[in-house]
């Protein structure tokens, strides 16, 4: 089956107040404008429409579901399949890997760091990168995915250091001064949908650790926080490439 006969359904966590869909909606608009797929829709776990509600409005006989998730955690393994099952059409949809686990994510993080370096006139060897993930007290999926991106950045061999911090497990983001002794630090939020974690939670924790997020010197150190990885303009390319690869590998 070709992309022209296939729908694409983006799935993001969303927020109870309904404000957590901006990134997914903007990516959907880009993919919709490209016209590679028969239709492109969005769905959420914490706001409307749900996956089942979105599937009910889609006409395509086959739908690829692209999760705006960082890892193979509970949302990916349990919540999303359960929400999709509510549609009662399990043979119609195919679940793609979570966006945060795709190989291109390392390049996304590298680019976000590069934007800061270019803007500030800094050399990569003179900064430490902190990849900030969600983390969890009950599983390792978020930690593993965050560390995988950090390991990919470290393999580039161009930064003074690469470390990880988390919202929900040690090392916590407010302990960032203990995670690195570097005087110049660039934090990359490993959040696919942005939302409150990017806008509120991570900034508050970094400030609690004694940081200004725009490079203003604080206690002899300077820290910059990039946008969340989900805001990078290449995100639609990653999703499209993965979806097309699945279609090529599938029988007609």
DSSP string, 22-44: HHHHHHHHHHHHHT-SSEEEEEE
86 close to 92: Cβ distance less than 8 angstroms = no
Stretches where the chain sits below pLDDT 70 are 1-2, 251-252
Domains 3-100+232-249 and 105-231 share a fold: yes
**CA-CA distance, 32 to 42, in Å (whole number)?**
11
Backbone angles phi, psi at 163, to 5 degrees: -135, 175
| CATH for 3-100+232-249 (3.90.1150.10, 3.40.190.10, 3.30.450.20, 3.40.50.1400) | 3.40.50.1400
Q: Cβ of 103: how many Cβ atoms within 10 Å?
A: 11
Sorted by where each begins, the domain ranges of the chain are: 3-100+232-249, 105-231
166 close to 134: Cβ distance less than 8 angstroms = yes
Helix (H) or strand (E) holding 66: strand 62-67
Domain 105-231 has CATH 3.40.50.1400: yes
User: What is the pLDDT at residue 17?
Assistant: 79
Output the CA torsion sign for 229, 19, 68, 36. negative
**Digit-coded pLDDT (tens) for 183-201:** 999 999 999 988 889 999 9
Q: Which residues contact 101 (CB under 8 A, 6 or more apart)?
A: 70, 71, 72, 145, 148
């Amino acid at each position: 089956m070709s992309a022209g006969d296939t729908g694409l359904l983006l799935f993001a966590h969303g927020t109870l107040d309904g404000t957590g869909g901006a990134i997914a909606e903007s990516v959907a608009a880009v993919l919709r404008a490209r016209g590679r797929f028969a239709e492109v829709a969005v769905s959420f776990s914490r706001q409307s429409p749900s996956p089942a509600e979105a599937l009910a409005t889609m006409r395509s006989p086959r739908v690829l579901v692209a999760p705006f998730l960082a890892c193979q955690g509970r949302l990916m393994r349990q919540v999303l399949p359960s929400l999709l099952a509510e549609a009662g059409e399990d043979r119609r949809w195919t679940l793609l890997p979570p966006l945060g686990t795709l190989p291109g994510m390392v390049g996304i993080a590298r680019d976000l760091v590069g934007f800061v370096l270019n803007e500030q006139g800094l050399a990569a060897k003179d900064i430490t990168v902190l990849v900030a993930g969600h983390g969890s007290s009950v599983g390792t999926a978020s930690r593993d995915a965050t560390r995988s991106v950090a390991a990919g950045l470290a393999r580039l061999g161009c930064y003074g250091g690469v470390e990880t911090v988390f919202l929900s497990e040690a090392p916590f983001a407010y302990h960032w001064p203990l995670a690195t002794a570097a005087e110049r630090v660039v934090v990359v939020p490993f959040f696919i949908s942005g939302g409150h974690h990017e806008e509120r939670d991570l900034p508050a924790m970094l400030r609690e650790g004694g940081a200004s997020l725009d490079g203003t010197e604080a206690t002899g150190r300077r820290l910059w926080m990039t946008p969340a990885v989900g805001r990078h303009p290449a995100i639609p390319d990653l999703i499209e490439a993965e979806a097309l690869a699945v279609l090529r590998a599938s029988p007609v």
